[in-house]
């Protein structure tokens, strides 16, 4: 389930059992710094050095039912909210901040781990070497995909229908990737 949707549902219907999801949110565009009954502090990096956004957020959050006080610092990106537990849930306050600041897309974005970034850099370098060596005819990706498609055709021709799932799947995937329909 999308994390913002989960927060909204938990905030609207109230979670009777279990702990709040907020303490787990230590990274991302809205981070939970601490959560106490009736008091929650978030860190919102996009508010740093954005006094007008910080002021707008303070005013709009202050109009929500159950919110007693809002203190927003554009110097640190801190958002301190004092609220009435019986009226509003902290998950709903989290979701309100995300929506009011238009951070939904950032919440959906999953950051890449460093290992994946490094592997991608190595792969991109390998692509460039093959591209340069073949004078722009191929890069590593297209060469590998053409090879996979050829292996798929070969399996289909050699093994007939017995190879259909793996052969056709390999051929389809290779062609799909080669034609640029396969992702990033």
Reported as a single tens digit per residue, the pLDDT across 34-76 is 889 999 999 999 999 999 999 999 999 999 999 999 999 989 9
Task: Check residues 115 and 12 and name the one with the higher pLDDT.
Answer: 115
Which residues 6+ apart lie within 8 Å of 171 measured at CB?
A: 149, 152, 153, 156
CA 70 from chain center: how many Å?
A: 27
pLDDT at position 91: 86
CA 44 from chain center: how many Å?
A: 16
Reported as a single tens digit per residue, the pLDDT across 12-26 is 555 554 556 565 566
Q: In whole angstroms, give the CA distance from residue 50 to residue 40.
A: 21
Q: Taking the domains of the chain in order of start, what are their residue ranges?
A: 3-108, 114-178
Residue with the two structure tokens 């396969």: 182
pLDDT at position 161: 61
**Percent of the chain's residues with pLDDT above 70:** 73
Say whether pLDDT at 7 is over 90.
Answer: no
Please report the sign of the dihedral spanned by the C-alpha atoms of residue 60, residue 6, residue 24, residue 16. positive
Whether domain 3-108 has CATH 3.30.70.100: the reply is yes
């Amino acid at each position: 389930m999308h994390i913002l949707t989960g927060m909204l549902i938990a905030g609207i219907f109230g979670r009777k059992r279990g702990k709040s999801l907020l303490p787990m949110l230590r990274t991302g565009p809205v981070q939970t710094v601490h959560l106490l009954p009736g008091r929650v502090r978030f860190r919102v990096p996009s508010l740093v050095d954005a006094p007008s956004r910080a002021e707008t957020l303070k005013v709009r959050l202050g109009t929500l039912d159950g919110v007693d006080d809002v203190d927003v610092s554009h110097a640190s990106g801190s958002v301190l909210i004092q609220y009435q537990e019986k009226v509003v849930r902290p998950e709903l306050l989290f979701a309100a901040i995300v929506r009011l600041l238009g951070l939904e897309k950032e919440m959906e974005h999953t950051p890449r781990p460093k290992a994946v970034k490094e592997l991608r850099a190595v792969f991109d370098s390998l692509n460039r070497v093959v591209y340069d060596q073949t004078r722009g005819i191929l890069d590593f990706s297209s060469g590998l995909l053409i090879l996979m498609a050829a292996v798929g055709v070969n399996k289909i021709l050699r093994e007939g229908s017995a190879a259909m799932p793996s052969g056709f799947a390999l051929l389809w995937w290779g062609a799909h990737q080669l034609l640029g329909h396969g992702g990033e």
